Amino acid sequence: MKPFLLNLLIMLSSFHLMSAQDKSSSEGIVALIQAYYNEDKYDELYNLLSEDAQRQMPEAAVTDFFQHALKSQLGAIQSYRLIEDKAPVYLYHVRFEKLTLSLNIALDEKNKVIGWEWLPVKEETNRGHSKMIHSNNPLRTKEELMVDTIARAYLQDERNCGISIGIIKDGRTQTYHYGEKDRTTQALPDDQTIYEIGSITKTFTGILLAHTVNTKKIRLDDDIRKYLPGEYPNLQFHHQPIQVGHLSNHTSRLPRVPEDLDRQAGYDADNPYKHYTREMMFHYLNTIHIDTLPGVIPEYSNYGTALLGIILESVHSTSLDRLLEQVITAPLGMPHTKFILSEEEKKREATGYGEDGEEAHYWDFNGMEAAGGLKSTLPDMLRYLEANMKEINTDIALSHQQTSFSSADPPGGLNWVRSTWNQGSSLIWHNGGTYGFSSFIGFDKQARIGIVVLSNSGNSVDDVSVSILKRLAQTSAQQD
């Protein structure tokens, strides 16, 4: 659920391959790569390399690659699968939270890594014929033709199912639906179709925090322990505590997900948060060791945002669902943006499909809902986009203000990402991803353009969204 940097380039780190005398067991090495990577043990990752490989690639470069080119962009490694065994070279597909990469890895006779190469998995499209893709796009203007070209390119991948696109340009709103909301019925998505929006939920949590600050019920520089049950002497570094604002701009030093997540009773990798209760969250909080000054180094944390949601509930003495309705969804007229859907709304849910095209279940977020638990429709999300573009109140305006200043990552607002693009203007954005859904929201206030893209496919819609935004920015510049 981590936002990509725009136009992400996957870094390569490859070495000259040496012949291995014996066939090595690659499974154990890839398992170690997953474990060390997810636990931020970059020195242990480096130690997997052979001496010759280490001479060709300094430890700092390897650490930077895994930490910034992979971890900060793609999130944790969730699974891996052996695709091809040509010992001593093995091809794996490695599934991260946001993308699946191919890993070519070569091992020597001592089971040391003598070479690895990370690349995006090539899309397995049906090249024999064009996939039939239904749409409501009337194709009357150059802009609609542009959207059509980009949307169809995404859906030509047989693994992807449906996509809904909403655009605001110069105050005008356009909506387009493509593909299928369910492969069984083959029905076209429409304005009533409900999608998971994943980590875009975090921007709602950021606005709720801004509201709580503006109503003087909390301060961004408050010690988070002020609002937690228990003492937690471990939540500080050299007597500097984690502050409330750090939870919202991802500088708290809390991990991406709880490290004991997969040790919960009944753990399901396809629905990872289902049985992870608030009691478990607080128990795990006691075990955390803060290794760096909070507020300095960004590291994306679903756990931190989830904890922020629980703090907001405590401060307001109400549920996050109710607070969301009072502050955001009711005032903006967003009746179908919820954590918990009615039975009637459940009938309008799109069916989700994973990165491999297989049907995927909706996630149950339990105590982690503030990090990614919302569902919504395209019209609701366009109202949300418009309100953010216009900054219609002080809560929304505060949520956009920059609160982190690291040069290593895009600067952050209160759960919004701010990127410099289009000749120096600011793009304020976030994306979302669960196993069966992907989403994007972003806008350039200066250029008066914004977009919402919702898909019932696990493959990222970042490229779709940014490609459309770039074309819109170009036409806006030409009109100016």
Cα–Cα distances in angstroms (integers) from residue 120 to residues 84, 102, 138, 151, 259, in the given order: 16, 6, 34, 20, 27
CA torsion 468-473-478-480 (nearest 10°) is: 140
- Using one digit for the tens of pLDDT, what is the confidence trace for 181-231? 999 999 999 999 999 999 999 999 999 999 999 999 999 999 999 999 989
Nearest residue to 379 via CA among 194, 145, 211: 194
Helix (H, G, I), strand (E, B) or coil at 194: strand
Residue 107: is it exposed, middle or buried by C-beta count within 10 angstroms (0-12/13-18/19+)?
A: buried
User: Exposed, middle or buried by CB within 10 Å (0-12, 13-18, 19+), for 63?
Assistant: middle
Helix/strand/coil for 86: strand
The DSSP result for 260-292, as a single string, is: TGGGSTT--TTSTTTT--HHHHHHHHTT----S
What separation in angstroms does the CA of 146 have from each of 141, 151, 201, 470? 9, 9, 29, 11
Give the number of other CB atoms < 10 A from CB of residue 146.
16
What is the distance between the alpha carbons of residues 111 and 381, in angstroms, rounded to a whole number? 51
Q: What is the pLDDT of residue 6?
A: 28
Which residue in the block uniquely carries the two structure tokens 């982690």?
368
For residue 106, the model assigns a pLDDT of: 87
Q: What was the pLDDT predicted at 53?
A: 84
- State the Cα–Cα distance between residues 477 and 480, nearest whole angstrom: 5
Provide the strand spans (E) within 71-185.
77-86, 89-96, 100-107, 113-120, 162-169, 172-179
Q: Where are the domains of the chain?
A: 26-120, 196-479
Residue 56 token pair: 């060709």
How many whole angstroms from its chain centre is CA 103?
21
Classify domain 196-479 at the CATH class level.
alpha beta
Per residue in 81-123, pLDDT (tens digit) is: 888 888 888 888 998 887 888 898 988 888 899 888 888 775 4
**What does the pLDDT read at residue 410?**
60
Give the list of residues 6+ apart from residue 226 with CB closer than 8 angstroms, or none. none
Report the pLDDT value the prediction gives residue 123, as an integer from 0 to 100.
Answer: 47
Beta bridge partners of residue 443, listed in sequence order: 428, 450
**Whole-number Å distance between alpha carbons of 162 and 181:** 6
Exposure string for 97-106, b = 16+ CB within 10 A, e = fewer = bbbbbbbbbb
Give phi and psi for 194, each to the nearest 5.
Answer: -105, 130
Note whether 178 and 365 are within 8 A (CB): no
Cβ pair 260, 273 in contact under 8 A: no
Q: Identify whether the C-beta of residue 385 lies closer than 8 Å to the C-beta of residue 166.
A: yes
Same fold flag, 26-120 and 196-479: no
Instruction: Extract the residue ranges of the chain whose pLDDT is less than 70.
Output: 1-25, 122-131, 404-411, 477-480
360: helix, strand or coil: strand
Other CB atoms within 10 Å distance of the CB of residue 461 = 24
- The CB density around residue 359, as the number of other CB atoms within 10 Å, is 15
The amino acid occupying position 190 is D
Domain formed by 26-120, architecture: Roll (3.10)
pLDDT at 12: 30
